[in-house]
Amino acid sequence: MTDLLNVYVEIKKDIDKRLGEFAAIWKNGGDTEIFKELCFCTCTPQNNARKAWGAILYLEKNEMIEKGDALSIAGALRENGVRFHQNKARYIITNRENFYPDTKNKILEVIDNKSCVEARDSLQKKVFGWGLKEASHFLRNVGMGDGICILDRHILRQLVVYGVINEVPSSITGTVYHKIEQKMLSFAERESIPVDALDLIFWYKEKNELFK
């Protein structure tokens, strides 16, 4: 077996558990749980994922996800180590106006009756502050990420390590994103690893943990 397949076999139970937890957010979660994931994926670009999630939990604890204004949200994000906090706060406020409450139904209006790729591509156009990566991240984190890839810097570095791409691109247009995504999907198939699991394996190899 390849080293990736060895890692997959070793931590498959943990991966399956994590993916099950993601799916349960959409299946069992209310508006706040789903909107939290939307806010998290809004905060992750150019930020540490752990700090971004910590900031979201802080906003939730202080009822700022539902009620906070842009100034207070920006201050909370800054205090919790989120860079570009003013822009992120503005995105959260705009997305709250568009997607909260009734979050699940409003998201379904965008993605219903579409393939995973079509849903992702439509969602990134509707959520303020998102690109393809953030929309992919959100769909994976609510259990709907089959067949799409979260091409963040950690994943891109691993794709270089395994020869899937030659280098980490300095910028990623939509066309480039889709091309790299197809290469990662083909690589996952060759390795006999589901692509949503491969994403977590790459994260595990970079950070020695399974996270979001």
Would you state the pLDDT for residue 38?
98
Residue 192 predicted with pLDDT over 70 = yes
User: Is 16 part of the annotated catalytic residue set?
Assistant: no
User: Is 152 part of the annotated catalytic residue set?
Assistant: yes
Return the percentage of the chain with pLDDT > 90, whole number.
92
CB 42 within 8 A of CB 135: no
Tokens 């670009």, located at residue? 45
Confidence category of residue 210, pLDDT binned at 50, 70, 90 = confident
Q: Point out the catalytic residue in the list 36, 88, 121, 133.
A: 133
107-161 per-position pLDDT tens digit? 999 999 999 999 999 999 999 999 999 999 999 999 999 899 999 999 999 999 9
Residue 10 predicted with pLDDT over 90 = yes
Q: Which of 102, 98, 68 is nearest to 85 (CA)?
A: 68
In angstroms, the Cα distances linking 141 to 75, 87, 135, 163, 168 are 26, 23, 10, 27, 24
* Domains parsed from the chain with CATH numbers: 3-23+149-207 (1.10.1670.10), 28-141 (1.10.340.30)
Residue 1 predicted with pLDDT over 80 = no
Would you state the pLDDT for residue 85?
98
Would you state the pLDDT for residue 26?
96
Q: Point out the catalytic residue in the list 88, 121, 152, 199.
A: 152
Distance between CA 149 and CA 30 in Å, rounded? 25
